[in-house]
Protein backbone atom coordinates (compact mmCIF):
# COMPACT_ATOMS: atom_id res chain seq x y z
CA UNK A 1 0.00 0.00 0.00
CA UNK A 2 1.43 3.34 -1.04
CA UNK A 3 0.48 6.75 0.31
CA UNK A 4 1.17 9.13 -2.56
CA UNK A 5 0.09 12.22 -0.63
CA UNK A 6 0.35 13.65 2.84
CA UNK A 7 -2.48 15.17 4.85
CA UNK A 8 -1.01 18.61 4.20
CA UNK A 9 -0.88 17.98 0.45
CA UNK A 10 -4.49 16.84 0.50
CA UNK A 11 -5.51 19.97 2.42
CA UNK A 12 -3.84 22.12 -0.25
CA UNK A 13 -5.46 20.11 -3.06
CA UNK A 14 -8.95 20.21 -1.52
CA UNK A 15 -8.90 23.75 -0.22
CA UNK A 16 -8.22 23.29 3.46
CA UNK A 17 -10.73 20.95 5.09
CA UNK A 18 -9.61 17.50 6.16
CA UNK A 19 -11.52 14.65 7.79
CA UNK A 20 -10.31 12.93 10.94
CA UNK A 21 -9.55 9.66 9.14
CA UNK A 22 -7.61 11.29 6.29
CA UNK A 23 -4.43 9.16 6.66
CA UNK A 24 -6.52 5.98 6.22
CA UNK A 25 -8.32 7.44 3.18
CA UNK A 26 -5.03 8.50 1.59
CA UNK A 27 -3.66 4.97 2.06
CA UNK A 28 -6.79 3.44 0.49
CA UNK A 29 -6.64 5.92 -2.38
CA UNK A 30 -3.05 4.78 -2.99
CA UNK A 31 -4.36 1.23 -3.41
CA UNK A 32 -6.80 2.40 -6.10
CA UNK A 33 -4.16 4.46 -7.92
CA UNK A 34 -1.74 1.51 -7.77
CA UNK A 35 -4.36 -0.78 -9.25
CA UNK A 36 -5.12 1.51 -12.19
CA UNK A 37 -1.45 2.28 -12.94
CA UNK A 38 -0.15 -1.26 -12.57
CA UNK A 39 0.94 -1.44 -16.23
CA UNK A 40 2.13 2.17 -16.50
CA UNK A 41 5.73 2.72 -17.52
CA UNK A 42 7.60 5.45 -15.63
CA UNK A 43 10.90 6.03 -13.86
CA UNK A 44 10.78 4.83 -10.27
CA UNK A 45 12.98 4.17 -7.27
CA UNK A 46 13.69 0.82 -5.61
CA UNK A 47 10.39 1.06 -3.69
CA UNK A 48 8.44 1.54 -6.93
CA UNK A 49 7.69 5.20 -6.24
CA UNK A 50 7.79 7.57 -9.20
CA UNK A 51 10.87 9.76 -9.47
CA UNK A 52 9.89 12.17 -12.27
CA UNK A 53 8.24 15.44 -11.25
CA UNK A 54 5.26 14.97 -13.58
CA UNK A 55 4.61 11.45 -12.34
CA UNK A 56 5.06 12.36 -8.66
CA UNK A 57 2.51 15.17 -9.05
CA UNK A 58 0.09 12.94 -10.99
CA UNK A 59 0.17 10.14 -8.42
CA UNK A 60 -0.21 12.66 -5.56
CA UNK A 61 -3.07 14.55 -7.21
CA UNK A 62 -4.86 11.38 -8.33
CA UNK A 63 -4.77 10.03 -4.76
CA UNK A 64 -6.11 13.36 -3.49
CA UNK A 65 -8.83 13.37 -6.14
CA UNK A 66 -9.85 9.86 -5.11
CA UNK A 67 -10.19 10.93 -1.47
CA UNK A 68 -12.07 14.06 -2.52
CA UNK A 69 -14.46 11.88 -4.56
CA UNK A 70 -15.14 9.59 -1.62
CA UNK A 71 -15.78 12.55 0.67
CA UNK A 72 -18.08 14.28 -1.84
CA UNK A 73 -20.27 11.21 -2.14
CA UNK A 74 -19.47 8.43 0.20
CA UNK A 75 -16.66 5.95 0.48
CA UNK A 76 -19.34 3.28 -0.03
CA UNK A 77 -19.42 4.30 -3.72
CA UNK A 78 -16.21 2.29 -4.04
CA UNK A 79 -17.95 -0.78 -2.64
CA UNK A 80 -21.57 -0.53 -3.77
CA UNK A 81 -21.34 1.88 -6.68
CA UNK A 82 -23.13 5.22 -6.76
CA UNK A 83 -26.86 5.44 -6.25
CA UNK A 84 -28.40 5.32 -9.72
CA UNK A 85 -32.09 4.82 -9.04
CA UNK A 86 -34.33 5.85 -6.17
CA UNK A 87 -38.02 5.33 -5.60
CA UNK A 88 -39.52 6.96 -2.52
CA UNK A 89 -42.88 5.11 -2.42
CA UNK A 90 -42.12 1.67 -0.92
CA UNK A 91 -38.45 2.75 -0.73
CA UNK A 92 -36.37 1.24 -3.50
CA UNK A 93 -32.74 2.12 -4.23
CA UNK A 94 -30.52 0.85 -7.02
CA UNK A 95 -26.77 1.06 -7.35
CA UNK A 96 -24.69 1.27 -10.52
CA UNK A 97 -21.48 -0.70 -10.91
CA UNK A 98 -18.76 0.56 -8.58
CA UNK A 99 -16.67 3.31 -10.16
CA UNK A 100 -13.55 2.53 -8.16
CA UNK A 101 -11.41 5.22 -9.86
CA UNK A 102 -12.72 8.74 -9.39
CA UNK A 103 -13.36 10.55 -12.68
CA UNK A 104 -11.01 13.41 -11.75
CA UNK A 105 -8.29 10.96 -10.71
CA UNK A 106 -8.64 9.25 -14.09
CA UNK A 107 -8.24 12.58 -15.92
CA UNK A 108 -5.10 13.38 -13.90
CA UNK A 109 -3.53 9.98 -14.63
CA UNK A 110 -4.46 10.10 -18.34
CA UNK A 111 -2.92 13.58 -18.68
CA UNK A 112 0.36 12.17 -17.32
CA UNK A 113 0.12 9.12 -19.63
CA UNK A 114 -0.10 6.77 -16.65
CA UNK A 115 -3.57 5.39 -17.37
CA UNK A 116 -5.26 4.74 -20.70
CA UNK A 117 -8.71 3.70 -19.53
CA UNK A 118 -11.88 5.25 -20.84
CA UNK A 119 -13.35 8.16 -18.89
CA UNK A 120 -15.87 7.08 -16.29
CA UNK A 121 -19.46 8.11 -16.98
CA UNK A 122 -22.18 8.31 -14.37
Domain residue limits, the chain:
7-73+100-111
Instruction: Give residue 1's pLDDT.
Output: 60
Spell out, as residue ranges, where the chain has pLDDT lower than 50: 79, 122
Handedness of CA 75, 81, 87, 91 (dihedral sign): negative
pTM of the complete model: 0.77
Instruction: Give residue 99's pLDDT.
Output: 60
Instruction: Give residue 26's pLDDT.
Output: 95
What is the per-residue burial (b if ≥16 Cβ within 10 Å, else e) of 25-56?
bbbbbbebbbebbeebebeeeeeeebeeeebe
Cα(57)–Cα(51) distance, rounded to whole angstroms?
10
Cα(118)–Cα(26) distance, rounded to whole angstroms?
24
Instruction: Give residue 122's pLDDT.
Output: 47
Instruction: Give residue 84's pLDDT.
Output: 56
Amino acid sequence: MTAYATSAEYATFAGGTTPDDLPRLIDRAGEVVDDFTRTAVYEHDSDGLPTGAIEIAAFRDAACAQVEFWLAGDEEDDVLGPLSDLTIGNVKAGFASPLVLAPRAGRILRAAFLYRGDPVTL
